[in-house]
Amino acid sequence: MPLAVPNIGELERAYVLEAVESGFVSSVGPFVSEFEQRFAEKVGARHAIACSTGTAAIHIGLLLLGVGRGDEVFCSDFTFVGSVNPIAYLGARPVFIDSETRTWNIDPQLLAGELDRRAAAGESLPKVVEIVHVLGQPADMEPLMAACERHGIPMLEDAAESLGATWSAGPYAGRHTGTVGAVGCFSFNGNKIATTGGGGMIVTDDDALASRARHLTTQAKVPDVGYLHDEVGYNYRLTNLAAGLGLAQLARLDEFVGAKHRIAARYDEAFADLPLILPPRVDGLDATYWLYSVMVPETDGRGRDEFLAHLNGLGIGARALWRPLHAQPPFSAAQVVGGKVGDDLFERGLSLPCATELTDDDQTRVIEAVRSFFA
Ligand SMILES: *Cc1c(COP(=O)(O)O)cnc(C)c1O
């Protein structure tokens, strides 16, 4: 039983076939701009620019906000490596900020503390703060934005895993993740809640940043002038074929989020009496539960590894959470602020099957397998 698999239906088939039959399979074609428009409407952003991957979207997003050689970028420590590889592509250095236990996302107190400390000591400040909304869980945005604004630092949101997640209280009530910072980035990799096979999206409300993003993702080609490229650009545009798939997935996003919510609610209820730490549930931060992840206590000498082996042995595709970035060899020299919460999530965390097409019977099997470990 897989952890999560794409949900591809009739609409996806129809749009992809239409792209193939129209001959517009490459990066010029009507589906790309339609996908961008619908996406911008869905999340409530002024502009959306489709990219070949989520990593490419973050790369361009950091460029838009002026990140270059020697700069520092503050970033979540507990996240997938795709969040920070683009920092290295630009010759910049990440500084990793630990998570809070309440949301598993970047800790607002640690972020504010390090920014305030540096400012008071006259030390350099980061060029950008990159906030990741992990596993479909929105970060606690109000104090994070306040800290960035106090020091005049733009925020990039890595919303690769949180398409469909929103805030429902506070100053950002009604807003989607990815639309509060200066730039937001999404991914449509095959494992995400909506997929284009591979793809990404940049969103922003800033007209100038949007047109620069469009320029940079298309080899910096100056329109209407014969082969003039006025800076070093990137071949990062999404193909029309992929956008066809994306358009169909976007039309079904509410269905997917609804399925994730149903699956999470049933797991929560089934595990309420077990010694597991269940996924964050915070009023005002409306997660999608893209992945349903729990933390396992060490009991009688048996911990997460034994739990994972038990589930995998029963054919259940559970998977450990990420090794935090401060523990990854390419970033071992980076400054880390905190680090214990990310280590703990890595050592004790795992995700359970939660494909949008998971059947009730299959979920029952997962629940019984989990309970049998603690029996
Ligand atoms: C998937 C992911 C990315 C990268 O997206 P790709 O489309 O795979 O390049 C970046 N950040 C996070 C948090 C992700 O989960």
pLDDT for residue 162 is more than 90: yes
Q: What is the mean pLDDT of residues 14-33?
A: 90
Ligand 1 neighbour 158 (Cβ under 6 A): yes
pLDDT for residue 112 is more than 90: yes
In angstroms, the Cα distances linking 32 to 18, 202, 233, 239, 371 are: 13, 13, 19, 7, 46
Say how far apart CA 249 and CA 316 lie, in whole Å: 26
Longest dimension (CA), the chain: 71
- Residue 24 binned pLDDT confidence (cut-offs 50, 70, 90): confident
Domains located in the chain, CATH noted? 10-251 (3.40.640.10), 253-374 (3.90.1150.10)
Per-residue pLDDT of 237-268, as tens digits, reads 999 999 999 999 999 999 999 999 999 999 99
Ligand 1 atom nearest residue 187's Cα: 7
Q: What is the mean pLDDT of residues 156-165?
A: 98
Measured in angstroms, how far is the CA atom of residue 82 from the centroid of ligand 1?
Answer: 5
- Residue 27 binned pLDDT confidence (cut-offs 50, 70, 90): confident
pLDDT for residue 28 is more than 80: no
Per-residue pLDDT of 297-356, as tens digits, reads 887 789 999 999 999 999 999 999 999 999 999 999 999 999 899 999 999 999 999 999
pLDDT at residue 60, rounded to an integer: 98
- Residue 177 binned pLDDT confidence (cut-offs 50, 70, 90): very high
**pTM of this structure:** 0.97
Average pLDDT, the chain: 97
Say how far apart CA 53 and CA 68 lie, in whole Å: 21
Catalytic residues: 192
- Residue 222 binned pLDDT confidence (cut-offs 50, 70, 90): very high
Beta bridge partners of 131: 157
Ligand 1 atom nearest residue 82's Cα: 10
Measured in angstroms, how far is the CA atom of residue 198 from the centroid of ligand 1?
Answer: 10
Ligand 1 neighbour 195 (Cβ under 6 A): no
* Contact between residue 264 and residue 288 where contact means Cβ atoms under 8 Å apart: no
3-state DSSP call for residue 282? strand
pLDDT at residue 149, rounded to an integer: 98
pLDDT at residue 367, rounded to an integer: 98
Measured in angstroms, how far is the CA atom of residue 168 from the centroid of ligand 1?
Answer: 25
Backbone angles phi, psi at 158, to 5 degrees: -90, 100
Ligand 1 neighbour 200 (Cβ under 6 A): yes
